[in-house]
Amino acid sequence: MLKQLLPYLAPLIFVVILGLRMSRARNGRPVKPERLWIRPAIIAVLMAYMLATSPRPDLFGLGLYGLAAVLGVGAGYLLSRHQELTLDPQTGAITSKMSVFGMILFFCMFAGRYAFRTFVNGGQAPDKLAAHSAQITLYSDAALLFLLAMFSAQAWEIWRRTRPLLAEHATRTAKSAAGQVEKV
C-alpha cells in the first residue's frame, strides 16, 4: 500500500511546504530593493548553462520559449501587484505581505506546474521515464525561462513600487532634520 501512495507523497510534502511558506508570506517579509536583482541573476546564470548544454531549439521550441517568457512576465507582474508594501516611518524599512489573491495565484501556478510536468511525462513518474528526450529538455528549458521572466518582472515591479516609498521617507527625514536644525 505504501508503494502505491509513494507517487503522491512528493506533491503532498510540496503542498505542506507551500502552505507554510504562504503563511509566512502573509505575516510579512522585509524587502531590500538593492538586492532584488540577485534571484533573477542566479536564475539567468543557471539558464545560460542549461541552454548552452541543451540542443538547439527548432521553430516550435523558439515559440515555446517566447510563450514561456510572456507568460512569466505576466505572472511576475500579477504576483508583485498583489503584494502589499508598507514603509516603517521610523526606520525606513519596507515590508512585503502577499495578499490572499496573491497566495491563491501562487498556489495555482505551482499546481499548474505540477499538472504540466505530469502531462509532459505522459503521466509517468520521472524515475519511470525510459530515456532522456530532447522534448523534455525543451519543456524544462521553457519552464526555466518562465521562472526567469517571472522573477525578473516581479523584482522590477517591486523595485518600481518601492522607489516612491523610499523617496517619501527620504523627504520626511530631510524635513524633520531641517525642522530640528531651525529649532536650535
Judge whether 30 lies within some domain: no
Judge whether 183 lies within some domain: no
**Cell matching residue 88:** 516603517
Judge whether 7 lies within some domain: no
Domain ranges, residue 43 = 37-171
Judge whether 119 lies within some domain: yes
What does the pLDDT average to over 5-29?
70
Total domains in the fold of the chain: 1
Lowest mean pLDDT among 18-22, 83-87, 121-125: 121-125
Judge whether 70 lies within some domain: yes
Q: Interior CA angle at 179 toward 174 and 180, to 5°?
A: 100
Q: Are 95 and 28 in contact (CB under 8 A)?
A: yes
Taking 70 as the threshold, does the pLDDT of residue 114 lie above it? no
